Each structure stands twice: as C-alpha cells, then as structure tokens.
Amino acid sequence: MFPQSPTNSPQHTGYGKPRGSVELKAFRVRCVNSRTECCCCCGGTTMSEQESLRCSSARNRGGVQRVEGKLRASVEKGDYYEAHQMYRTLFFRYMSQAKHAEARELMYNGALLFFSYNQQNSAADLSMLVLEVLEKSETKVEDDILESLAKLFGQMDQNSPERVAFVSRALKWSTGGSGKLGHPKLHQLLAVTLWKEQNYSESRYHFLHSSDGEGCAQMLVEYSASRGFRSEVDMFVAQAVLQFLCLKNKNSASVVFSTYTEKHPSIEKGPPFVQPLLNFIWFLLLAVDGGKLTVFTVLCEQYQPSLKRDPMYNEYLDRIGQLFFGVPPKQSPSYGGLLGEKVSSVLPSSHYL
C-alpha cells in the first residue's frame, strides 16, 4: 500500500485531483498492458470496481479478438475441420470458466464465418452452441439477442433438419420458461425472414404469434397475389383475422384486416365491401368490441353461406364465442383440456415446432 499524502502536502491542491493523476493514469495503462490484476494506485487511491471491470472486459475482448483472428485464418486456408474443433474446444473452456459472453460472441461470429464459406454443418453446430450458452447462463431475452438468432436462422439451409431444431430451441429459450409459444419479437423476425424466402405458409404461422398485424397483412397481400385465386382474396384475410382472435389478439386482428383491405389491388374500397365474407369480418370486429352475444349470434346465422366456404370458420367462431361473448364450451373431445390446448386445436401448426 502506498503511503497517504497529508492534505497540506505540496502534492495536494485541496481541489480536484492530486497532481499525480497523470502518473496514476499511466500506471493504470501499464496495468492493463501487462495483464496484471492491479487494484491499487499511487497516492493511496484505489481503482474503483467499475474501472476494474472495464480493465478485465478490455483484456477479455482483446483475447477473443486474437483467437478469432487465428481461427479466421484457418478457415480462410480451408482447414474447416480443424477450425471447427478448435471452436468447440474454446467453447467448453470458456463455459468452464463461466465466460458466457465471450463464449456466445465467439460461437456467433464463428457460425457466421462458416456460413460465409458455405460450411452449413459446422455453422449450424456453432449456432446450437450459441443457444446452449443462452440456456445455461440464463441470459435474459433482449432484442439484440433475438435479432442475432434470427440472423443465424436466415443463414441456414432452408430444408435442413438443423434449422428446424434451431428455431424450435430458440423459441423455447425465448419464452423464459413461461411455457408459451415463443417471444412475439422472435416470431416477428422469423416471419419476415420466411416471407423473404417466399415461404408464406410458415411466415403466416409466425406472424400469428407476433404482434405485427401490419407486416402480416402485407405478406398476405403478396401471398394472395402470387399463389391464390382472385376468388379467394377475401379468404386469405378472413382466416388470419379469425386466428388472431382465437389467440385473443384483437388489435392485430383489426390491423391485419384494415391494412389488407386497403392495400390489396383486387379489393374495392370499403366498408361495405363487394365480398360478403369481408363484410362479415368487418361486423365481427365491431361485435367483439361490443361484446353482445345476441349480435354475434345473429351475425353468424346471417352469414352462414359465406362461412360454409371453409369448414374451419365455424370452429374458429366457436372459440371466439367462448373468448369474447361468454359462450360455454362445447362438450366434445376436441374441446377438452386447457384453454391453450383448445386454441391450438383450431390453429395451424408449424413444422418448425
């Protein structure tokens, strides 16, 4: 321990920092450069815990960057197997030392590197290790992490079983143990990725479990225009609205309907609309806000010809009646169990789950 300078010493002005602060800063820099775990400084002052953490963080980043440089060189030379094994070795070393942030960063960057060289198997393996870090370190869900997971998902071969396993595990982690179907933000990011791939069916599934009604509507417009018949333009949005309502997401149901009917080139401005099914959906959304069972019942009776176009419509409406109008559940096997099971029985599933 360095001796304390008395307050009347020429080395202390009585205001601000001691004159030795320049030497103090230089000493700290030397500590970092020499990788020492210094916690004391000249003048008897002690490095704060925050400063110490910054020093440690800087050393760790420097170490990771040096390791990444060597691994990148191996990959660039085509030594894919050796580089992959080294990544795995470093992963387990970092995990044993509880260096979770370093392990995640190294695996994430390594996965992207392998993807850039079309080494799908190695990249997918490191992507799964990213998830392992998140699970074992109990990392909290944050937007930047969800975006990084979606980026890895987007790089994977669209038909690979590894992609299915990755997204299933990522969604499970994103729930934070709540048992839900995945974080809405992650679903939204996955939906956009699948939309870009023109995988409209899977994209629609993930949009349903997000809160992005506008994005869902825009995707459905493209889906309808490129894959559907002109006579089915109303059915694309009707199904989405009913499914959003089955998930008790009134806001997204309203947004997807208004956006779709405004932007679809084959739908004339309304309401009222030329297509009876669109008028039914419009009235249904108004009835949901009002919550009057008599209105809901009359509405379903009057529009039965349109509702018979898809046998699932009445299944959806049974659930909507229970959720918003107090209709008792039907006593049948398909409606047994918990509410989540009932809802899932009338909603589409994803091959990713």
Rounded Cα distance between 230 and 222, Å, is 12
Specify if 136 maps to a domain. Answer: no
- Helices and strands, counts by H and E, the chain: 17, 0
Rounded Cα distance between 334 and 316, Å, is 13
Quick one: pLDDT band at residue 330, thresholds 50, 70, 90?
Answer: confident
Specify if 59 maps to a domain. Answer: no
Q: What is the CATH number of the domain that holds 224?
A: 1.25.40.10
pLDDT tens digit sequence for 86-117: 999 999 999 999 999 999 999 999 999 999 99
Encode 261-289: b = buried (16+ Cβ within 10 Å), e = exposed.
Answer: beebeebeeeeebebbbbbbbbbbbebbe
pLDDT tens digit sequence for 270-321: 999 999 999 999 999 999 999 999 999 999 999 999 999 999 999 999 999 9
Specify if 72 maps to a domain. Answer: no
Specify if 218 maps to a domain. Answer: yes
Does 81 or 17 have the greater pLDDT score? 81
Specify if 353 maps to a domain. Answer: yes
Q: How many CB atoms lie within 10 A of CB 140?
A: 8
Specify if 71 maps to a domain. Answer: no
Look at residue 300 in the predicted model and tell me its pLDDT.
Answer: 98
- With a pLDDT cut of 90, the percent of the chain lying above it is 71
| pTM of the entire predicted model | 0.79
Number of domains the chain is built from: 2
| Residue 45 clears pLDDT 70, i.e. is over it | no
Q: How many CB atoms lie within 10 A of CB 194?
A: 25
Specify if 297 maps to a domain. Answer: yes
Quick one: pLDDT band at residue 353, thresholds 50, 70, 90?
Answer: low
Specify if 271 maps to a domain. Answer: yes
Cis preceding linkage at 184, omega within 30: no
Domain residues for the domain of 219 are 212-353
